[in-house]
Amino acid sequence: MKERLMGQMIVGALLLTGSIVTHAAPGVAPVNNERYMEECGTCHFAYQPGLLPERSWSKVMAGLEDHFGENSELEEADRLKLETYLISNAGDHSSHKRSKKLMRSISSRDTPLRISKIPYFVKEHREVPKGALKHEKVRSLSNCDACHRTAEKGIYGERGIDIPGYGKWED
């Protein structure tokens, strides 16, 4: 009873001062759109929308006729639905910690199309052994789920890293 009353007093004090503390969720929000998984996840890892800002997703979706060397055009209605999903869940609209870190590292003048070019991403991957990229299961830093065992869930913490040919990440 005493603890509950104390908790109510703290909440009341925070409301009176306007100092409400919110905690961001860890990682990035996982993909929760089946159509996106079907259209994009069949060719490559279905990147969570929170990994790029809105302006980047708009540019990606506007250039599907040459999507990193492939024609990935969609019917306009499908393209609009996917673009709406990506934009509304983009990193600059996210409350997730990793999304916020990624967004803070991007200049407002930049519109990155590759997650692997974002400054925060580059910094976090600077210690990856160069030989790891030659492994058939990795091949590129854009192949997130090759090393991040919980990438699909939006969890990219160091404890979940297991680099093929190298083993668990030890920092």
pLDDT tens for the 171 residues of the chain, in order:
444 444 444 444 444 444 444 567 889 999 999 999 999 999 999 999 999 999 999 999 999 999 999 999 999 999 999 999 999 999 999 999 999 999 999 999 999 999 999 999 999 999 999 899 999 999 999 999 999 999 999 999 999 999 999 999 886
Give yes or no for a contact between 150 and 48, defined as CB atoms under 8 angstroms apart: no
Does 9 map to a domain? no
In a domain, 70, yes or no: yes
Residue 14 lies in a domain: no
Q: Is 72 helix (H, G, I), strand (E, B) or coil?
A: coil
Tally the domains of the chain.
1
The alpha carbon dihedral of 122, 112, 39, 71 has a sign of negative
CB atoms within 10 A of CB 1: 5
In a domain, 145, yes or no: yes
- Whole-model pTM: value is 0.83
In-domain check, residue 19: no
Which amino acid makes up residue 98? R
Domain extent, residue 52, equals 27-164
Which residues have a Cβ under 8 Å from the Cβ of 131 and sit 6 or more positions away?
165, 166
- State in Å, rounded, how far the first CA of the chain is from the last one: 44
The count of other CB atoms within 10 Å of the CB of residue 47 is 20
Domain contains 6:
no
Q: Do the domain assignments include residue 171?
A: no
pLDDT value at residue 169: 87
